[in-house]
């Protein structure tokens, strides 16, 4: 009888030791666990662009695919020649894309039928001569380009601007971490991890379909400034 009682007591003690950890075990949590605060800081700088990218298109329509393509080829050649003559050795002109698509008569309750073809040739210009951009647009339109898809300005080497943006973003992240630590009544420790993302944001200018020009009026182009943003992520240890 005593033996059975002792056995039951030992079993109860074992169960209690499993269900209720000791005070020392509670106070000494996982020695490998580290409490952290993670924040993202943002910053940006603005700088003067030194490169322009111009995207123009030549659209032609005709009854047959051959005729649409032939008209397009003739106009595209004139546009490219005009751009190269104006640009000289201050940039490059390339073909950005080409398409030839049927056009359909899609009246309600009728079978779609081909009524013609549309050919499109895209020409791109890359130059550091920003003062020529307006004249390039005018020359291209005069030669036969009938749409300016886009015009964007960028910086060939944005290292300095990117470094400044990262520094601003880092300060922002530190300020956020300090505010968060103060609100939580904890103290920041060392930085355990730091990552950054920085990418130049070119200035896009949508131009749309080209309009008829006055012979005495040139297209004005003011490039403005390029924004270089940065994001810095910091992980701090909590002491």
Residue 12 in this model has a pLDDT that exceeds 50 = no
Tokens, residue 118: 């549309």
Please check whether residue 124 is in contact with residue 54, taking contact to mean a CB–CB distance below 8 angstroms: yes
Tokens, residue 121: 């040739």
CA 38 from centre of chain: 24
Tokens, residue 156: 């060939």
Looking from the CA of 139 toward its CB, the CA atoms found within 13 Å total 19
Please report the pLDDT score of residue 202 as a whole number. 59
Q: What is the DSSP letter of 89?
A: T
Please report the pLDDT score of residue 213 as a whole number. 45
Please check whether residue 148 is in contact with residue 207, taking contact to mean a CB–CB distance below 8 angstroms: yes
49-85 tens-digit pLDDT: 999 999 999 999 999 999 999 999 999 999 999 999 9
pTM: 0.69
- What's the rounded Cα separation, in Å, for the pair 208 and 57? 10
Position 111 confidence tier, pLDDT thresholds 50, 70, 90:
confident
- CATH superfamily for 51-153 is Protein of unknown function (DUF541), domain 2 (3.30.70.2970)
Please check whether residue 117 is in contact with residue 61, taking contact to mean a CB–CB distance below 8 angstroms: yes
Going from N- to C-terminal start, the domains of the chain cover: 51-153
């Amino acid at each position: 009888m005593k033996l059975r009682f002792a056995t039951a007591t030992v079993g109860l003690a074992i169960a209690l030791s499993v269900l209720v950890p000791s005070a020392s075990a509670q106070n000494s949590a996982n020695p490998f666990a580290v409490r952290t605060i993670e924040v993202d800081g943002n910053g940006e700088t603005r700088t003067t662009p030194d490169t322009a990218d111009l995207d123009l298109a030549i659209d032609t329509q005709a009854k047959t695919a051959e005729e649409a393509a032939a008209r397009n080829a003739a106009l595209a050649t004139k546009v490219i020649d005009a751009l190269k003559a104006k640009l000289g050795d201050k940039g490059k002109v390339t073909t950005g894309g080409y398409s030839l698509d049927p056009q359909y008569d899609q009246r309600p309750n009728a079978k779609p039928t081909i009524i013609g073809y549309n050919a499109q040739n895209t020409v791109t210009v890359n130059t550091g001569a920003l003062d020529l951009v307006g004249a390039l647009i005018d020359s291209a339109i005069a030669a036969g380009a009938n749409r300016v898809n886009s015009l964007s300005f960028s910086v060939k080497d944005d290292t300095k601007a990117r470094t400044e943006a990262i520094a601003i973003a880092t300060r922002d992240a530190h300020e956020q971490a300090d505010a968060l630590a103060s609100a939580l009544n904890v103290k920041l420790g060392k930085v355990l991890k730091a990552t950054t993302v920085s990418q130049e944001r070119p200035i896009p200018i949508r131009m749309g379909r080209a309009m008829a020009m006055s012979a005495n009026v040139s297209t004005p182009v003011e490039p403005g400034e390029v924004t270089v943003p940065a994001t810095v992520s910091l992980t701090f240890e909590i002491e």
